[in-house]
Structure 1
Amino acid sequence: MNMASANSGWRLRSGRPRNFGLRAGSMSDAQRRELLIRGTFGSATILGVRPRRQEPGHVFWVRVQIEGALPYETRVCQRVREDDLEWMQPADVVCCRVDPGDRDRLVLYVPDIEEAGRVSISKILSDGRRADATVLAAAPVAADYGGRDDPVLRLDMELRAWDEPKPWHVRLVQPVPLAAISLVDLGQHLEVAFFTVDHGESVAVDWAASLGED
Protein backbone atom coordinates (compact mmCIF):
# COMPACT_ATOMS: atom_id res chain seq x y z
CA MET A 1 0.00 0.00 0.00
CA ASN A 2 1.39 3.37 -1.04
CA MET A 3 1.36 5.59 2.03
CA ALA A 4 2.14 8.79 0.13
CA SER A 5 -0.13 11.64 1.06
CA ALA A 6 -1.28 14.71 -0.78
CA ASN A 7 1.27 16.62 1.22
CA SER A 8 3.99 14.01 0.99
CA GLY A 9 5.45 15.03 -2.31
CA TRP A 10 5.16 14.88 -6.07
CA ARG A 11 4.92 11.54 -7.76
CA LEU A 12 7.55 12.03 -10.43
CA ARG A 13 7.98 10.83 -13.96
CA SER A 14 10.63 11.57 -16.56
CA GLY A 15 9.83 13.63 -19.63
CA ARG A 16 7.99 16.88 -20.16
CA PRO A 17 4.33 17.32 -19.10
CA ARG A 18 1.85 16.10 -21.72
CA ASN A 19 -1.74 15.03 -22.27
CA PHE A 20 -3.17 18.31 -21.03
CA GLY A 21 -6.86 18.59 -20.22
CA LEU A 22 -9.42 21.33 -19.75
CA ARG A 23 -12.91 21.95 -18.57
CA ALA A 24 -15.34 20.82 -21.23
CA GLY A 25 -16.06 23.53 -23.79
CA SER A 26 -14.12 26.18 -21.90
CA MET A 27 -11.03 26.51 -24.12
CA SER A 28 -9.90 25.95 -27.67
CA ASP A 29 -6.54 24.28 -28.31
CA ALA A 30 -5.01 27.72 -28.89
CA GLN A 31 -6.43 29.05 -25.61
CA ARG A 32 -5.16 25.99 -23.80
CA ARG A 33 -1.65 26.46 -25.15
CA GLU A 34 -1.76 30.13 -24.18
CA LEU A 35 -2.84 29.24 -20.63
CA LEU A 36 -0.06 26.68 -20.31
CA ILE A 37 2.45 29.37 -21.26
CA ARG A 38 1.03 32.38 -19.42
CA GLY A 39 -1.21 30.94 -16.70
CA THR A 40 -0.38 31.15 -13.01
CA PHE A 41 1.53 28.10 -11.82
CA GLY A 42 -0.01 26.10 -9.00
CA SER A 43 -0.49 22.63 -7.58
CA ALA A 44 -3.66 20.57 -7.50
CA THR A 45 -4.42 17.75 -5.06
CA ILE A 46 -6.72 15.15 -6.59
CA LEU A 47 -9.70 14.68 -4.27
CA GLY A 48 -11.79 12.48 -6.52
CA VAL A 49 -11.89 11.17 -10.09
CA ARG A 50 -14.46 9.38 -12.23
CA PRO A 51 -14.96 8.71 -15.95
CA ARG A 52 -17.30 11.07 -17.79
CA ARG A 53 -20.60 9.37 -18.53
CA GLN A 54 -21.27 10.43 -22.10
CA GLU A 55 -18.02 11.98 -23.36
CA PRO A 56 -14.36 10.93 -23.42
CA GLY A 57 -12.22 11.88 -20.45
CA HIS A 58 -12.57 12.10 -16.70
CA VAL A 59 -14.00 14.46 -14.12
CA PHE A 60 -11.50 15.50 -11.45
CA TRP A 61 -12.42 17.18 -8.18
CA VAL A 62 -9.29 19.03 -7.11
CA ARG A 63 -7.96 21.28 -4.37
CA VAL A 64 -5.88 24.03 -5.96
CA GLN A 65 -3.03 25.86 -4.24
CA ILE A 66 -1.52 29.01 -5.76
CA GLU A 67 1.27 30.90 -4.05
CA GLY A 68 -0.05 33.81 -2.02
CA ALA A 69 -3.69 32.66 -2.12
CA LEU A 70 -5.92 30.44 -0.01
CA PRO A 71 -6.52 26.95 -1.41
CA TYR A 72 -9.86 26.28 -3.09
CA GLU A 73 -11.73 23.35 -4.61
CA THR A 74 -13.10 23.05 -8.13
CA ARG A 75 -14.07 20.52 -10.80
CA VAL A 76 -12.13 19.91 -14.00
CA CYS A 77 -13.23 17.82 -16.99
CA GLN A 78 -10.14 16.50 -18.70
CA ARG A 79 -9.00 13.95 -21.25
CA VAL A 80 -6.09 11.81 -20.03
CA ARG A 81 -4.34 8.67 -21.23
CA GLU A 82 -4.30 5.60 -19.04
CA ASP A 83 -0.61 6.03 -18.17
CA ASP A 84 -1.31 9.59 -16.99
CA LEU A 85 -4.37 8.48 -15.02
CA GLU A 86 -2.12 6.33 -12.84
CA TRP A 87 -0.55 9.56 -11.53
CA MET A 88 -3.85 11.38 -11.04
CA GLN A 89 -5.62 9.35 -8.36
CA PRO A 90 -7.07 10.63 -5.04
CA ALA A 91 -4.32 12.12 -2.84
CA ASP A 92 -1.90 12.56 -5.76
CA VAL A 93 -0.53 16.04 -6.45
CA VAL A 94 -0.17 17.37 -9.99
CA CYS A 95 0.79 20.69 -11.54
CA CYS A 96 -1.70 23.16 -12.93
CA ARG A 97 -1.84 26.47 -14.78
CA VAL A 98 -4.68 28.76 -13.73
CA ASP A 99 -6.28 31.67 -15.59
CA PRO A 100 -5.65 34.74 -13.37
CA GLY A 101 -9.07 36.11 -14.36
CA ASP A 102 -11.01 32.89 -13.75
CA ARG A 103 -9.58 30.57 -11.14
CA ASP A 104 -11.92 27.74 -12.18
CA ARG A 105 -10.39 27.77 -15.66
CA LEU A 106 -7.28 25.63 -15.38
CA VAL A 107 -5.18 22.95 -17.00
CA LEU A 108 -3.90 19.94 -15.04
CA TYR A 109 -0.75 18.03 -15.90
CA VAL A 110 1.64 15.56 -14.33
CA PRO A 111 4.86 17.27 -13.17
CA ASP A 112 8.31 16.33 -14.35
CA ILE A 113 11.47 16.39 -12.25
CA GLU A 114 12.20 20.08 -12.78
CA GLU A 115 8.76 21.16 -11.57
CA ALA A 116 8.63 18.89 -8.52
CA GLY A 117 8.89 21.39 -5.73
CA ARG A 118 7.13 19.45 -3.01
CA VAL A 119 9.04 17.58 -0.35
CA SER A 120 8.69 13.80 -0.13
CA ILE A 121 7.04 12.18 2.89
CA SER A 122 10.20 10.19 3.65
CA LYS A 123 12.23 13.41 3.67
CA ILE A 124 9.76 15.12 6.02
CA LEU A 125 9.64 12.16 8.40
CA SER A 126 13.42 11.74 8.48
CA ASP A 127 14.50 15.38 8.67
CA GLY A 128 11.45 17.33 9.81
CA ARG A 129 10.67 18.83 13.20
CA ARG A 130 8.12 17.06 15.37
CA ALA A 131 4.70 18.28 16.46
CA ASP A 132 1.55 17.04 18.15
CA ALA A 133 -1.57 17.20 15.97
CA THR A 134 -5.12 17.31 17.31
CA VAL A 135 -7.75 16.09 14.85
CA LEU A 136 -10.42 18.74 14.27
CA ALA A 137 -12.30 17.02 11.44
CA ALA A 138 -11.98 14.03 9.12
CA ALA A 139 -14.04 13.35 6.02
CA PRO A 140 -13.74 11.09 2.95
CA VAL A 141 -12.98 12.95 -0.26
CA ALA A 142 -14.05 10.33 -2.79
CA ALA A 143 -16.44 7.40 -2.93
CA ASP A 144 -14.09 5.55 -5.30
CA TYR A 145 -10.61 5.12 -3.91
CA GLY A 146 -9.12 4.08 -7.24
CA GLY A 147 -8.20 0.58 -6.10
CA ARG A 148 -6.34 1.70 -2.99
CA ASP A 149 -6.74 -0.47 0.10
CA ASP A 150 -7.01 2.47 2.49
CA PRO A 151 -9.62 5.26 2.43
CA VAL A 152 -8.56 8.74 1.34
CA LEU A 153 -9.53 11.33 3.96
CA ARG A 154 -9.37 15.07 4.34
CA LEU A 155 -7.88 15.80 7.76
CA ASP A 156 -8.18 19.18 9.47
CA MET A 157 -5.76 19.39 12.39
CA GLU A 158 -4.30 21.80 14.91
CA LEU A 159 -0.54 21.46 15.32
CA ARG A 160 1.55 22.37 18.37
CA ALA A 161 5.35 22.28 18.48
CA TRP A 162 7.61 23.11 21.41
CA ASP A 163 9.68 25.53 19.28
CA GLU A 164 6.71 27.43 17.78
CA PRO A 165 5.04 30.23 19.82
CA LYS A 166 1.46 29.29 18.96
CA PRO A 167 -0.55 26.48 17.36
CA TRP A 168 -1.59 26.56 13.71
CA HIS A 169 -4.13 24.76 11.51
CA VAL A 170 -3.36 22.51 8.55
CA ARG A 171 -5.37 20.42 6.10
CA LEU A 172 -4.04 17.17 4.64
CA VAL A 173 -5.57 14.89 2.03
CA GLN A 174 -4.14 11.39 2.20
CA PRO A 175 -4.80 7.67 2.50
CA VAL A 176 -5.24 6.64 6.13
CA PRO A 177 -4.16 3.11 7.13
CA LEU A 178 -7.14 1.01 8.12
CA ALA A 179 -5.39 0.22 11.40
CA ALA A 180 -5.31 3.96 12.18
CA ILE A 181 -8.94 4.83 11.41
CA SER A 182 -9.76 5.11 15.11
CA LEU A 183 -6.97 7.70 15.46
CA VAL A 184 -8.69 10.26 13.21
CA ASP A 185 -11.74 10.77 15.42
CA LEU A 186 -12.43 14.27 16.71
CA GLY A 187 -9.96 15.23 19.44
CA GLN A 188 -7.53 12.38 18.83
CA HIS A 189 -3.80 13.11 18.74
CA LEU A 190 -1.36 12.17 15.99
CA GLU A 191 2.39 12.53 15.78
CA VAL A 192 3.46 14.52 12.73
CA ALA A 193 6.63 15.91 11.20
CA PHE A 194 6.94 19.29 9.48
CA PHE A 195 9.49 21.68 8.03
CA THR A 196 7.76 25.02 8.45
CA VAL A 197 4.48 26.58 9.60
CA ASP A 198 2.21 26.42 6.54
CA HIS A 199 -1.22 25.12 5.50
CA GLY A 200 0.01 21.52 5.40
CA GLU A 201 2.35 21.53 2.39
CA SER A 202 5.35 20.41 4.47
CA VAL A 203 3.48 18.22 6.96
CA ALA A 204 3.40 14.42 7.09
CA VAL A 205 1.65 12.16 9.59
CA ASP A 206 3.93 9.56 11.17
CA TRP A 207 1.42 6.72 11.27
CA ALA A 208 3.90 4.21 12.72
CA ALA A 209 4.70 6.49 15.66
CA SER A 210 1.03 7.41 16.13
CA LEU A 211 0.18 3.71 16.31
CA GLY A 212 3.03 3.05 18.73
CA GLU A 213 4.86 0.81 16.28
CA ASP A 214 8.22 2.60 16.54
Structure 2
Amino acid sequence: MLHGLEGTATVLSVRADAETGPEFWVRVQLEDRHAYETRVRQRASTADREWMQPGDIVCCRVDPGDHDRVVLYLPAPEETSRTNIAKILADGRRARATVLATTPVAADYTGRDDPVLRLDLELRAWDEPSPWRVRVVQPVPLSALELVDLGRRLDVAFFTVDRGESVAVDWAASRRDD
Protein backbone atom coordinates (compact mmCIF):
# COMPACT_ATOMS: atom_id res chain seq x y z
CA MET A 1 0.00 0.00 0.00
CA LEU A 2 2.84 2.43 0.76
CA HIS A 3 5.18 1.84 -2.17
CA GLY A 4 2.92 0.41 -4.85
CA LEU A 5 2.09 2.15 -8.10
CA GLU A 6 -1.26 3.95 -7.97
CA GLY A 7 -3.89 2.93 -10.47
CA THR A 8 -7.50 2.07 -11.03
CA ALA A 9 -9.11 -1.32 -11.41
CA THR A 10 -12.38 -2.11 -13.14
CA VAL A 11 -14.05 -5.07 -11.47
CA LEU A 12 -14.89 -7.61 -14.16
CA SER A 13 -16.21 -10.41 -11.95
CA VAL A 14 -16.37 -11.47 -8.32
CA ARG A 15 -16.43 -15.00 -6.97
CA ALA A 16 -17.19 -15.54 -3.29
CA ASP A 17 -15.17 -18.00 -1.23
CA ALA A 18 -16.00 -18.33 2.48
CA GLU A 19 -12.49 -19.54 3.37
CA THR A 20 -10.17 -17.25 1.42
CA GLY A 21 -12.46 -14.26 0.89
CA PRO A 22 -13.67 -12.95 -2.44
CA GLU A 23 -11.72 -13.38 -5.65
CA PHE A 24 -11.86 -10.37 -7.94
CA TRP A 25 -11.05 -10.49 -11.64
CA VAL A 26 -10.02 -6.93 -12.51
CA ARG A 27 -8.71 -4.83 -15.36
CA VAL A 28 -5.88 -2.69 -13.99
CA GLN A 29 -4.96 0.66 -15.52
CA LEU A 30 -1.69 2.31 -14.50
CA GLU A 31 -0.64 5.71 -15.78
CA ASP A 32 1.24 5.56 -19.10
CA ARG A 33 0.90 1.75 -19.35
CA HIS A 34 -1.37 -0.62 -21.18
CA ALA A 35 -4.27 -2.01 -19.15
CA TYR A 36 -4.06 -5.66 -18.15
CA GLU A 37 -6.28 -8.19 -16.42
CA THR A 38 -5.44 -10.12 -13.27
CA ARG A 39 -6.98 -11.98 -10.36
CA VAL A 40 -6.93 -10.49 -6.84
CA ARG A 41 -7.75 -12.43 -3.68
CA GLN A 42 -8.28 -10.27 -0.64
CA ARG A 43 -10.67 -9.93 2.21
CA ALA A 44 -13.21 -7.12 1.96
CA SER A 45 -16.03 -6.11 4.27
CA THR A 46 -19.60 -6.66 3.16
CA ALA A 47 -20.04 -2.89 2.89
CA ASP A 48 -16.96 -2.57 0.66
CA ARG A 49 -18.01 -5.52 -1.52
CA GLU A 50 -21.26 -3.67 -2.27
CA TRP A 51 -19.10 -1.13 -4.16
CA MET A 52 -16.82 -3.74 -5.71
CA GLN A 53 -19.26 -5.38 -8.12
CA PRO A 54 -18.76 -6.02 -11.85
CA GLY A 55 -18.49 -2.71 -13.68
CA ASP A 56 -17.40 -0.74 -10.60
CA ILE A 57 -14.09 1.13 -10.65
CA VAL A 58 -11.94 1.02 -7.54
CA CYS A 59 -8.48 2.28 -6.62
CA CYS A 60 -5.52 -0.06 -6.51
CA ARG A 61 -1.84 -0.24 -5.66
CA VAL A 62 0.41 -2.47 -7.74
CA ASP A 63 3.77 -3.95 -6.70
CA PRO A 64 6.29 -2.39 -9.15
CA GLY A 65 8.24 -5.67 -9.25
CA ASP A 66 5.23 -7.96 -9.75
CA HIS A 67 2.19 -6.49 -11.48
CA ASP A 68 0.05 -9.45 -10.41
CA ARG A 69 0.41 -8.36 -6.76
CA VAL A 70 -2.46 -5.90 -6.44
CA VAL A 71 -4.33 -4.42 -3.49
CA LEU A 72 -7.81 -3.04 -4.12
CA TYR A 73 -9.43 -0.28 -2.08
CA LEU A 74 -12.38 2.04 -2.42
CA PRO A 75 -12.07 5.64 -3.51
CA ALA A 76 -13.84 8.35 -1.55
CA PRO A 77 -17.64 7.78 -1.69
CA GLU A 78 -18.21 10.68 -4.09
CA GLU A 79 -15.69 9.18 -6.53
CA THR A 80 -17.06 5.64 -6.90
CA SER A 81 -17.81 4.45 -10.41
CA ARG A 82 -21.56 4.39 -9.87
CA THR A 83 -21.40 8.05 -8.95
CA ASN A 84 -19.09 8.69 -11.87
CA ILE A 85 -21.42 7.02 -14.36
CA ALA A 86 -24.39 8.96 -12.99
CA LYS A 87 -22.35 12.17 -13.02
CA ILE A 88 -21.16 11.58 -16.59
CA LEU A 89 -24.73 10.93 -17.72
CA ALA A 90 -26.03 14.01 -15.88
CA ASP A 91 -23.28 16.50 -16.70
CA GLY A 92 -21.37 15.10 -19.67
CA ARG A 93 -21.35 16.18 -23.28
CA ARG A 94 -23.35 14.02 -25.68
CA ALA A 95 -22.06 11.90 -28.52
CA ARG A 96 -23.23 9.15 -30.82
CA ALA A 97 -21.34 5.84 -30.70
CA THR A 98 -21.07 3.01 -33.18
CA VAL A 99 -20.48 -0.46 -31.74
CA LEU A 100 -17.25 -1.91 -33.19
CA ALA A 101 -16.87 -4.95 -30.91
CA THR A 102 -18.61 -6.52 -27.93
CA THR A 103 -16.92 -8.94 -25.53
CA PRO A 104 -18.58 -10.55 -22.51
CA VAL A 105 -16.55 -9.96 -19.37
CA ALA A 106 -18.74 -11.24 -16.56
CA ALA A 107 -22.26 -12.54 -16.21
CA ASP A 108 -24.45 -13.84 -13.45
CA TYR A 109 -25.83 -16.93 -15.12
CA THR A 110 -28.70 -17.13 -12.65
CA GLY A 111 -30.23 -14.26 -14.62
CA ARG A 112 -30.47 -11.90 -11.63
CA ASP A 113 -27.77 -9.38 -12.56
CA ASP A 114 -26.92 -7.57 -15.77
CA PRO A 115 -23.98 -8.93 -17.76
CA VAL A 116 -20.82 -6.84 -17.87
CA LEU A 117 -19.53 -6.26 -21.38
CA ARG A 118 -16.43 -4.67 -22.83
CA LEU A 119 -17.56 -2.41 -25.66
CA ASP A 120 -15.27 -1.00 -28.33
CA LEU A 121 -16.97 2.10 -29.68
CA GLU A 122 -16.32 4.85 -32.19
CA LEU A 123 -17.65 8.17 -30.91
CA ARG A 124 -18.71 11.23 -32.85
CA ALA A 125 -19.66 14.50 -31.20
CA TRP A 126 -20.90 17.63 -32.96
CA ASP A 127 -18.24 19.76 -31.27
CA GLU A 128 -15.25 17.48 -31.92
CA PRO A 129 -13.38 17.70 -35.24
CA SER A 130 -13.03 13.96 -35.77
CA PRO A 131 -14.30 10.65 -34.38
CA TRP A 132 -12.31 8.71 -31.77
CA ARG A 133 -12.31 5.17 -30.44
CA VAL A 134 -12.89 4.13 -26.85
CA ARG A 135 -13.20 0.96 -24.80
CA VAL A 136 -15.66 0.87 -21.89
CA VAL A 137 -16.53 -1.89 -19.46
CA GLN A 138 -20.09 -1.48 -18.20
CA PRO A 139 -23.03 -3.54 -17.01
CA VAL A 140 -25.57 -3.80 -19.84
CA PRO A 141 -29.23 -4.08 -18.87
CA LEU A 142 -30.69 -7.37 -20.11
CA SER A 143 -33.36 -5.38 -21.97
CA ALA A 144 -30.62 -3.55 -23.92
CA LEU A 145 -28.53 -6.52 -25.08
CA GLU A 146 -29.81 -6.24 -28.65
CA LEU A 147 -28.40 -2.69 -28.75
CA VAL A 148 -24.78 -3.89 -28.60
CA ASP A 149 -24.78 -5.72 -31.94
CA LEU A 150 -21.99 -4.71 -34.33
CA GLY A 151 -22.74 -1.48 -36.17
CA ARG A 152 -25.55 -0.42 -33.83
CA ARG A 153 -25.71 3.17 -32.64
CA LEU A 154 -25.73 4.14 -28.96
CA ASP A 155 -26.17 7.44 -27.16
CA VAL A 156 -23.28 8.17 -24.81
CA ALA A 157 -22.11 10.93 -22.53
CA PHE A 158 -18.48 11.93 -21.99
CA PHE A 159 -16.40 14.59 -20.30
CA THR A 160 -13.34 14.64 -22.55
CA VAL A 161 -11.85 12.87 -25.55
CA ASP A 162 -10.00 9.94 -23.98
CA ARG A 163 -9.76 6.15 -24.31
CA GLY A 164 -13.05 5.61 -22.47
CA GLU A 165 -12.34 6.64 -18.89
CA SER A 166 -14.93 9.44 -19.01
CA VAL A 167 -17.52 7.71 -21.23
CA ALA A 168 -20.84 6.23 -20.10
CA VAL A 169 -23.51 4.64 -22.29
CA ASP A 170 -26.99 6.13 -21.85
CA TRP A 171 -29.05 2.95 -22.13
CA ALA A 172 -32.41 4.70 -21.67
CA ALA A 173 -31.73 7.21 -24.48
CA SER A 174 -30.34 4.47 -26.73
CA ARG A 175 -33.51 2.39 -26.29
CA ARG A 176 -35.70 5.41 -27.13
CA ASP A 177 -33.80 5.87 -30.39
CA ASP A 178 -34.21 2.21 -31.32
Same fold (TM over 0.5): yes
CA distance in 2 between partners of 1:178 and 1:147 (Å): 9
Moved more, 201-210 or 138-147: 138-147
Q: 1:169 maps to what in 2?
A: 133
Deviation of the 1:162 alpha carbon: 2.3
Alpha carbons 2:58, 2:80 under 8 Å: kept: no
Deviation of the 1:58 alpha carbon: 1.9
Percent identity for Structure 1 against Structure 2: 68
CA distance in 2 between partners of 1:145 and 1:152 (Å): 12
CA distance in 2 between partners of 1:146 and 1:195 (Å): 35
Alpha carbons 1:141, 1:153 under 8 Å: kept: yes
CA distance in 1 between partners of 2:35 and 2:85 (Å): 21
Change (3 A) 1:61 1:38: same
CA distance in 2 between partners of 1:78 and 1:104 (Å): 13
* Counterpart amino acid of residue 72 in structure 1: Y
* Counterpart amino acid of residue 133 in structure 1: A
Q: How many residue pairs end up in the alignment?
A: 176
Deviation of the 1:141 alpha carbon: 1.2
Question: Quick check: which has more Rg, 1 or 2?
Answer: 1
Moved more, 40-49 or 145-154: 145-154
Q: 2:154 maps to what in 1?
A: 190
CA RMSD for the aligned pairs?
A: 2.3
Deviation of the 1:179 alpha carbon: 2.0
Note the residue ranges of structure 1 that are not aligned, 5 or more in a row: 1-35
* TM-score normalised according to structure 2 size: 0.87
**Structure richer in strand, relative to its length:** 2
* Among candidates 82, 87, 90, match of residue 46 of structure 2: 82
Query: Bigger relative contact order, structure 1 or 2, given CA contacts below 8 A and separation 6+?
Result: 1
Q: 2:16 maps to what in 1?
A: 51
Q: Secondary structure at the match of 1:183?
A: helix
Alpha carbons 1:44, 1:108 under 8 Å: kept: yes
Pairing 1:141–2:141 present: no
Pairing 1:40–2:1 present: no
Alpha carbons 2:107, 2:116 under 8 Å: kept: no
* TM-score normalised according to structure 1 size: 0.74
Pairing 1:131–2:124 present: no
